[in-house]
Amino acid sequence: MSQALKNESLSAIFAELDKSFDDMKSWRRYMHQHPELSFEEVHTAKYIEEKLVSFGLEVQTKIGGNGIVATLKGYQPGKTIALRADFDALPIEDEKDVPYKSTKPGVMHACGHDGHTSALLGTARTLSKYREKIKGTILFVFQPAEETPPGGAKFMIEEGILEGVDYVFGAHLASDIPLGKVAVGEGYQMAAVDKIEITIKGRGGHGARPHQTVDSLVIGSSVVEGLQKIVSRSIDPLKSAVVTIGVFHAGSAFNVIPDTAKIEGTVRTFDEDVRDQVEAEINSIVKGITSAYHANYEIDYLRGYPALYNHKEETDVARGLFSEVFTEQNVIEKTPTMGAEDFAYFLKEKPGTFFNVGSQNEDEATHYPHHHPRFDFDERALVNISKSFVKIVSHYLF
């Protein structure tokens, strides 16, 4: 297709997406009112399926749990691109005073997954009207359980959804980026996330007779202190790592020395060798301290999502394409974070990139961080996600 014809087609598709805004907003608000937690998204999956079927797409359901893949085959052969959105909610009480507030107590879409899904639905419906322009195949991947390890991406990939796929792309709304801006970045952009559970088993007793006990609380305190030295004293300062302890439970009475202490925390890393090193250091420290104080221990170390790595070539392509849609000034550099995202599994299998789409406006209601009980966003960002996906598709398949 000539560049002139491609630009003409894109203009028509973008106009169609602009007209679809009210529908995308309606879909998003319906899902916001009816959120479902990870691995429980049965109603949401059915809602998505019905929309996709109405668009005339080939739809596969119950992939890796509640996952859905819709296939759009162009009139001509070519490459295959996968576009992904997630659709699970979080165990958070919705504190917003809006008409579309969550109707389910203690559950809300506090991370924008309802928006990702609505935008991809809008993309799928619009592109389904332009099959004759497409040289290749588009897979619209609707993924459950992004918020809960081991994550829905892993299970969907294990069922073979990426077989024959050439590239994979994903987008995430960002409440810290102004509407109209898009953030892209190559290399490691989000961290691997691991969970630590440590149980220290001592010997309890009377608070007045500590010499007759093995104090799990004091030993646990030494363990926590020791773990905080891993990053500062064992890891190359030019490499990133985080060890955070978020839970410490021991004892139930002021005059009783507890026999058991439970510690939970998280480890965040980019480099796989550093990930291995931190795990080994944790085991060494816990073993050494508990042994010195004559206690026993158990460690449950859960490896969660891998680090998210954006491939250079596909990131550079996306950066250039987005500059044509949003202007060069509005394409900004994505800042790496120690947060995690199971889209990382897709990028370990196929080349692609994961980018952020700004959703903040002048209204303070759109400034709350993700996972906040008052989280919300400027819904015009839905169209920007769709236009980003369409621009990528046009580059590879038009």
Chunk the chain into consecutive blocks of 10 residues (it has 398) and report each block's average pLDDT, rounded to whole numbers. 75 96 98 98 98 98 98 97 98 98 98 98 97 96 96 97 98 98 98 98 97 98 98 96 98 97 98 98 98 98 97 98 98 96 98 98 97 98 98 97
Give the model's pLDDT for residue 8: 77
73 exposure class (CB count in 10 Å sphere: 0-12, 13-18, 19+): middle
Q: Are residues 23 and 159 in the same domain?
A: yes
d(CA 303, CA 187): 21
Q: Where a domain ends, among 303, 322, 347?
A: 303
Q: Are residues 145 and 256 in the same domain?
A: no
Q: Where a domain ends, among 283, 303, 323?
A: 303
Phi, psi of 137 (to 5 degrees): -135, 145
Q: Are residues 13 and 145 in the same domain?
A: yes
Cα separations in angstroms, 336 against 112, 204, 261, 307, 309? 19, 45, 35, 11, 10
Tell me the longest C-alpha to C-alpha distance in the chain: 86
Q: Are residues 318 and 274 in the same domain?
A: no
Residues annotated catalytic, as ranges: 88, 146
Q: Are residues 268 and 359 in the same domain?
A: no
Whole-prediction pTM:
0.94
Q: Are residues 68 and 168 in the same domain?
A: yes
d(CA 239, CA 221): 27
What total number of domains does the chain contain?
A: 2
Both tokens assigned to 366: 């759109």
Instruction: Find the helix or strand (DSSP H, E) in which 345 lies.
Output: helix 344-349
Q: Are residues 213 and 225 in the same domain?
A: yes
d(CA 99, CA 122): 22
Q: Are residues 317 and 288 in the same domain?
A: no
Q: Are residues 58 and 111 in the same domain?
A: yes
Contact indicator for 267, 194 with CB cutoff of 8 Å: yes
CATH number of the domain at 250, please.
3.30.70.360
Task: Classify residue 352 as left (phi > 0), alpha (psi -120 to 50) or beta.
Answer: left
CATH number of the domain at 178, please.
3.40.630.10
| Residue 147 marked as a ligand binder | yes
Q: Are residues 292 and 331 in the same domain?
A: no
Q: Are residues 90 and 170 in the same domain?
A: yes
Q: Which domain holds residue 287?
A: 192-303
Give the model's pLDDT for residue 1: 64
Q: Where a domain ends, among 303, 321, 352?
A: 303
Q: Are residues 49 and 103 in the same domain?
A: yes
